[in-house]
Amino acid sequence: MKKIIWAIIIIAIITGVVFLFGKGGKDVYKNETIKIGAILPLTGDLAFLGEEIKKGIDIAVLEYKDKGVDINVIYEDDQSLSPIVAVNAANKLLNIDKINAGLTLLVEESRPIAPIFNKKEIPLLVLWDSNNFIQESGDYVFSNGFSTELAGESMADFAYNKLGMKTVAIIGHIDPWADIITKSFKNEFEVLGGRVVYNEQFNIDTKDYRTAILKIKQLNPDAVYFPMLPMNSVQFLTQAKQFDLKSVFLTGDSFISDVINKAGDASEGVYFTNIYTLNENRLFEKYKKFYNSNPVDITLVSFGYDGIIKVVGLGNKSSKKIKENLESLFGNERSANRVEKIFQVQKGIPVEVKNN
């Protein structure tokens, strides 16, 4: 009887070893799910941004699935950057869904939720932009985005050294992004030797800029730098054209395609720093294959696609491994700090300007 019992035990052990280290063990590894929480603007004014990024995420997830890596992305809507909604979404993802990592679109979305991710020791990756906040936000917050500070400095250098602008008027918004890019532009322009003759910021719900435009017109600056949020640039440029404000217009990456289209002729000739992707053609074809249509903006799609690849890597399946991978990618600054390119609207189409 004892021999029979021992025989059963040995068979059970051998079966377990085969299951763990043989074909069965591989299946268990493949089926281990990586849970990622994505907090994006999926409703409201910025929903079109979130939807394109979501599509990029979904393309990457399906590609990983073909390789045997199972990723479950749980989407949460922050209703176009509502801090309260974003915090509620983060708490749900971390405490109920038990995600391994998080994604969000903008630094401004990350501000209210960064402390929650740090406390839970779960990495959070910002997809679009980066600024000095990332370095101050804790060890678990990273960015694969473009530097706001460098965008302002780059445009200032371009305006002064390439366009020969010596005086500039600044008109923008009371907003964290606008504040950062305005200060960076102003400081760099003045360091180079330029002079700011006008500088005023307005609430984001302002629709009438005519008084400011008249003041700027009297000062007659070489250029006007207007870091405004979508879609306010439409009103500003339209009113500037109505009042025949003759100047070179400069702005940042909030000058999206919808603004250009709605501003029409008033947007012609505007220079702006803007995001881009290195793998546009390859990702464009993947998008068409998955969705049978053309993307609204392939760069937005790339944010989601690249974000998944940066987080998952070769198949990282724990928060610790994901954090280590992001640290190896982004270094001590925890940010890619990419530099935007400079474009100009020519016949209604953004054309890259060779800044060399």
pLDDT in tens, 97-117: 999 999 999 999 999 999 999
Burial of residue 43 (CB within 10 Å: 0-12, 13-18, 19+) is middle
Q: Select the more confidently predicted residue: 21 or 178.
A: 178
In this structure, what are the phi and psi dihedrals at residue 227, rounded to the nearest 5 degrees? -75, 90
Determine how many CB atoms are found less than 10 A away from the CB of residue 39: 27
Mean pLDDT computed over 147-171: 98
CA distance 139 to 90: 17
| Average pLDDT of span 67-89 | 96
**What is the average per-residue pLDDT within 156-181?**
97
Q: What sign has the CA pseudo-torsion 99, 105, 107, 112? A: negative
Q: Tell me, what's the pLDDT at 251?
A: 98
pLDDT band for position 355 (50/70/90)?
low
pLDDT range class, residue 122, cuts 50, 70, 90: very high
Q: Give the integer Cα–Cα distance in Å for 152 and 252.
A: 8
Is the distance from CB of 179 to CB of 170 less than 8 angstroms?
no
Q: Is the pLDDT assigned to residue 10 strictly greater than 80?
A: no
The pLDDT of residue 278: 86
pLDDT confidence tier of residue 323, bands split at 50, 70 and 90 = very high
Q: In the chain, what is the greatest distance between 2 CA atoms, to the nearest angstrom? A: 106
Would you say residue 266 has pLDDT above 70?
Answer: yes
pLDDT band at 356 (very low <50, low <70, confident <90, very high): low
Which range has the worst mean pLDDT, 86-95, 198-207, 273-282, 326-335?
273-282
Q: What percent of the chain has pLDDT over 70?
A: 91
User: Does the CA dihedral 146-87-57-63 come out positive or negative?
Assistant: positive
Q: Distance between CA atoms of 346 and 16, rounded to whole angstroms?
A: 67
Task: Check residue 27 and give its pLDDT.
Answer: 34
CA torsion sign for 39, 43, 47, 51 is positive
Name the average pLDDT for the chain. 91
Q: In the predicted model, what is the mean pLDDT of residues 320-346?
A: 96
Token pair belonging to 252: 């940042």
β partners of residue 198:
169
Give pLDDT tens digits for 300-321. Answer: 999 999 999 999 998 888 999 9
pLDDT of residue 25: 37
Are 262 and 255 a contacting pair, CB within 8 Å? Answer: no
